Amino acid sequence: MSTRAGIVVTGTEVLTGRVTDRNGPWLAEQLRLVGIDIAEIVVVGDRPDDLTAALQHLTAAGLELIITSGGLGPTADDLTARVVGEFQRRPLALDAALEQRIAAIVERLQRGRGWTVDPEAQAAGTRKQSLVPAGATVLEPVGTAPGLVVPAPDRTDGPPVVVLPGPPRELQGMWPAALAAPAVTAIVAQAEELRQRTLRLWGTMESELAAMMRAQGDALDDLEITTCLRDGELEIVTRYAPGEQDAYERFAAAVAEAFPRTLFSPDGASIDEIVARLLRERGLTIATAESCTAGLLAGRLTELAGSSDYVLGGLVVYSNLAKHDLAGVPLELIDRVGAVSEEVAVALAEGARSRLHSDLGVGITGIAGPGGGSTEKPVGLVHFCVSDGVRQRPARWVIPGGRSEVRARAVLLALHLVRRLLEEDSDEASAQAGA
């Protein structure tokens, strides 16, 4: 049985969907790295009874560790430290030295920003943040709020509760100190390493993969394999104990044998990382001319640091006049075949290349919806072209879903088209080597 942890995310804004929780997923991955499996994430609002009930539930589930995020601010509705202290039956007491350290931080922040805050309210807030449950380890503030590691009540073997702030930057900055707290170190010491590897396929159906896995019989019994179809990429994530490394290698080899054309990432690299690596390896530059995606492909190509080595820029050609003025698409061509057409996609790719003086050009033109569709050219129709000046690779897709799905999927499809063009060279090289 693996070592398991539960996470409690507090905050009405997360519960009601106005803010997406980033702490649960981040903590899940950090825990995995130290061999702790995540059993459950519970999201509750800023209500003390709900938080207590969640702590009871996770304790009753037999988990070895509980982590909370949020509710550590200076105001009265920030109640996590108090509730956790009561739950672990450890009375709060003022830590005067901590109070001074927090006061110094707050003062420094205010000087920097030129704020003025009611000094009495501020002192009350600082005092509230300096109340520490008996026997708890204080985690020094990264913002202004300290974290806590609160052990189980005396003479019981319940899980310790790690209390972390809500802002992701503060939570992440405090994590090393949380891992170093004695109550946490003791649990990590018992945990066994848990490895995780990812394979990504492009163009294989989930049902085909399921059939291939069934054919493996009980060879996969000791691997925890989850498959997930995301925007057309089929992702296979496998977790296993170190002793199962050989079993994993055999499985990965079987996937590579069954799906040689579609396994584009045998090492878990994302399509973004692969495109960046291929461009760098070949010393090539790239530029875009986008209509329906309107800059999102250029934005994505520049997400990775250092992308200025190979991204020169792009054209956002939303209007037909912009397609002509910026990318040099003849207006006569647009009149004749329509802005959403293979011909215009090709002209956009070439326009991007020539205007930006890049090696590769990518053109995208489509109907993102919800309006503008017809029987012949429905909403979701997108024409693409990737060109390196010698090879022009046009492609056409009808993407299901709403406006944002069509635009997001079109960006991903364009990245795969770039990858395929760049990999043609390797394919030819291997074909020649094999001949």
Residues 104-133 that bind a copy of itself (CB under 8 A): 115, 117-118, 121
Backbone angles phi, psi at 339, to 5 degrees: -65, -30
Q: Decide: is 321 part of the binding site for a copy of itself (CB under 8 A).
A: yes
Helix (H) or strand (E) holding 137: strand 137-139
Tokens representing residue 202 in the block? 């492009």
Q: Which of residues 149-178 bind a copy of itself (CB under 8 A)?
A: 169
Q: Decide: is 389 part of the binding site for a copy of itself (CB under 8 A).
A: no
Helix (H) or strand (E) holding 107: helix 96-113
Residue 147's Cβ-count burial label (10 Å; 0-12, 13-18, 19+) is buried
- Identity of the residue numbered 381: L
Q: What minimum distance in Å lies between the beta carbon of 182 and a copy of itself?
A: 27
How many binding residues for a copy of itself (CB under 8 A)? 85
How many CB atoms within 10 Å of residue 133? 24
List the one residue from 53, 97, 219, 253 that touches a copy of itself (CB under 8 A). Answer: 53
Q: Decide: is 301 part of the binding site for a copy of itself (CB under 8 A).
A: yes
- Comparison of 333 and 408: residue with beta carbon closer to a copy of itself: 408
> Which residues, 6 or more positions from 426, have their beta carbon under 8 angstroms from its beta carbon?
none
- Identity of the residue numbered 211: A
Q: Decide: is 374 part of the binding site for a copy of itself (CB under 8 A).
A: no
DSSP notation for 213-273: HHTTGGGGTTSEEEEEEETTEEEEEEEE-GGGHHHHHHHHHHHHHH-TTTEEETT---HHH
Near a copy of itself by CB under 8 A, which window of 81-89, 180-188, 267-275, 307-315?
Answer: 307-315
List the one residue from 266, 328, 373, 401 that touches a copy of itself (CB under 8 A). Answer: 401
Q: Decide: is 212 part of the binding site for a copy of itself (CB under 8 A).
A: no
Q: Decide: is 145 part of the binding site for a copy of itself (CB under 8 A).
A: no
User: Does residue 71 sit in helix, strand or coil?
Assistant: coil
List the one residue from 192, 193, 303, 335 that touches a copy of itself (CB under 8 A). Answer: 303
Q: Decide: is 25 part of the binding site for a copy of itself (CB under 8 A).
A: yes
Q: For residues 394 and 392, what is the distance between their CA atoms, to the nearest angstrom?
A: 6
Near a copy of itself by CB under 8 A, which window of 64-72, 153-161, 173-181, 321-329?
Answer: 321-329
Q: Decide: is 219 part of the binding site for a copy of itself (CB under 8 A).
A: no
Q: Decide: is 42 part of the binding site for a copy of itself (CB under 8 A).
A: yes
Q: Decide: is 38 part of the binding site for a copy of itself (CB under 8 A).
A: yes
List the one residue from 43, 162, 334, 345 that touches a copy of itself (CB under 8 A). Answer: 43
Contact letters for a copy of itself, residues 332-371 (x by CB under 8 A): -----------------------xxx-----------xxx
Q: Which of residues 222-261 bind a copy of itself (CB under 8 A)?
A: 224, 226, 228, 230, 235, 237
Q: Give the alpha-carbon dihedral of 316, 323, 345, 370, to 10 degrees.
A: 70
Tokens representing residue 378 in the block? 């429905």
Q: For residues 320 and 343, what is the distance between their CA atoms, to the nearest angstrom?
A: 14
